[in-house]
Structure 1
Amino acid sequence: MINMHDVNNTINEKIIDASIPGYQAEIGADEAEIMGAFLEDALSEGEALDSAIDGGDKDE
């Protein structure tokens, strides 16, 4: 059984390690996912067009 307290402690230690200039912290895919590395929050094409500041017509 996975102990989430241990997992959180390990992730916190790796975040601290990663903040040390020049240190190459090894972070696995599962750890990166827990840290939010794979969350997709980019704008869609439509959202990007809606946010255009040039005032042009989207249909042009």
Structure 2
Amino acid sequence: MNDDQLEALNEKLADAMVPGFEVEFDPDEAEQAGSFQEDALSVQDATDSSGDQ
């Protein structure tokens, strides 16, 4: 991502913090912003956290 793209992404992220303001991100921008960061529990972690064992 070049400097101009990074600056545009930062502006969009700042705009997204304004309540009611809708900002559109293309797929590359969304990925750079961390929108697709997986943080869900694995099946094993979910099973291990269950009290039904």
TM range (shorter): 0.7 to 0.9
TM-score using structure 1 length: 0.73
Residue deviations 1:2-59, cap 9 Å, x none?
Answer: 6x2112111110011111111111111110011111122211111111123x3x31xx
Corresponding residue pairs, total: 53
Letter in 2 for 1:51: S
RMSD: 1.5
Gaps of 5+ in 1: none
Gaps of 5+ in 2: none
* In 1, Cα distance between equivalents of 2:11 and 2:27: 16
